[in-house]
Amino acid sequence: MVGSALKRLMAEYKQLSLNPPEGIVAGPINEDNFFEWEALILGPEDTPFEGGVFRTTLNFPTDYPMSPPKMKFTSDMFHPNIYPDGRVCISILHSPGDDPMGYETSAERWSPVQSIEKILLSVMSMLAEPNPESGANVDASKMWRDDQEQFVKRAEKLVRKSLDL
């Protein structure tokens, strides 16, 4: 299983290197270990995160792509769909199959046809359009719903911090 996961990760790395999506740079932290990646995500235009450069890690299981990777922001983040410790809560990263809570359809969850590029683009989209109904960070969800001006100020501080300003 490790061999096929490694082949798939190497192929995805090659594709991302040859044709990177706009605003994303990603690859293995160390080319001796293709199961641990780092990605830099540019804050999407016309969002509170615009202009920021946010660092993330992706840790791939040995049965990838049968199971999804774990993704975590290592840059400070305050977002409804990002846990306070940086873990990303997004449907595409949830294990395949039916949601035991009945919130997501199996089509929204991980499947082996997904890719690293799709994950990263989904996270960029999540930054642009949070889902406060699926709050991983209750404080951020509440602020997004009740005080968008304060949320924007907090996000702008994170943008400056991500740029070491």
The answer, yes or no, to whether residue 50 has pLDDT greater than 70, is: yes
Q: Which of 61-75, 83-97, 99-113 has the lowest average pLDDT?
A: 99-113
Domain spanning 2-162: CATH superfamily: Ubiquitin Conjugating Enzyme (3.10.110.10)
Average the pLDDT over 149-160 and give the result: 97
Contacts (Cβ under 8 Å, ≥6 apart) of 120: 21, 24, 26, 39, 41
Q: Which residue carries 């406060």 as its tokens?
A: 132
Average the pLDDT over 52-81 and give the result: 97
Domain ranges of the chain: 2-162
pLDDT on residue 109:
82
Average the pLDDT over 23-33 and give the result: 94
Residues noted as catalytic: 89
Write out pLDDT tens, residues 92-146.
998 877 666 656 667 778 899 999 999 999 999 999 999 887 779 999 999 999 9
pTM of the model: 0.91
